[in-house]
Amino acid sequence: MAVPRVAVGPLLWCWLFGGAVLTSFGPSVVSASVQRLGDATFEHETQATTGGTTGSWLVTFGAEGCARCAKLRKELQSVSEDLREIYTIPAHVDQADAAGLWKRFGLKEVPVTYFFSKGGMYRFDGKEEGRELLKFATEALDGAMEVRREKIPPEPNFLSELIDLVLGSIVSLVKGVNVLAMGAGKQTHALVNTLFGGERTEL
């Protein structure tokens, strides 16, 4: 007797991408919202370093009060359904809750957009428009941007954080010593002036 086959692909998609089965199977039923990530959720959700099973991610890094960041987020939202149809999850990161990610990726400006896929990342440098974002992700998935592929910086571990803490303490200590030395130098200079540089009274 033939064993019936169960279509688990779309169900697995919905489970992975946080969607819900509504009236039919397929990516179109998945929520089109742009996910918000931060230090506490980025690696767990994206599995960027390992290139795990959550698919590819198109992530914009921005900050509150940045007009370009807000516009780019809206553009990302406008193509979110199209991105999910090519198994790419749109997301954004706000600097306010991502100090660790800013340090990890060496971010110096906003907005910055990266495409994460299969353990690699690609920086977006096109026009900040929805169709350009979709084109960028599509070409990256098709392998047309391998020359621009970058290695994803590793997630900080206990040892690296400890080293950063020690180095930070050393830097603070050195700065403190320099301040004290400058203060002591000024006091010594003032004392020398008082003892030897003042007016002399003829006897």
Q: What is the pLDDT of residues 138-178, one digit of tens each?
A: 999 999 999 999 999 998 864 444 555 565 567 667 777 77
Instruction: Kindly report the average pLDDT of the chain as a whole number.
Output: 79
**Is pLDDT above 80 for 185?**
no
Nearest of 101, 92, 78 to residue 32 by alpha carbon: 78
Query: What burial letters (b/e) apply to 132-144, b meaning 16+ CB within 10 Å?
Result: ebbebbeebbeee
Strands, E assignment, the chain? 35-37, 56-62, 88-94, 112-117, 120-123, 150-151
Q: Is the pLDDT of residue 11 over 80?
A: no
* Band of pLDDT at residue 6, cut at 50, 70 and 90: very low
Alpha carbon distance 67, 89 (integer Å): 23
pTM above 0.85, yes or no: no
Q: Which pLDDT score, from 0 to 100, does residue 7 have?
A: 43
Give the containing element (helix H, strand E) for 105.
Answer: none
Amino acid 191: pLDDT: 64
For residue 48, which of 157, 152, 137, 136 has the smallest C-alpha distance?
152
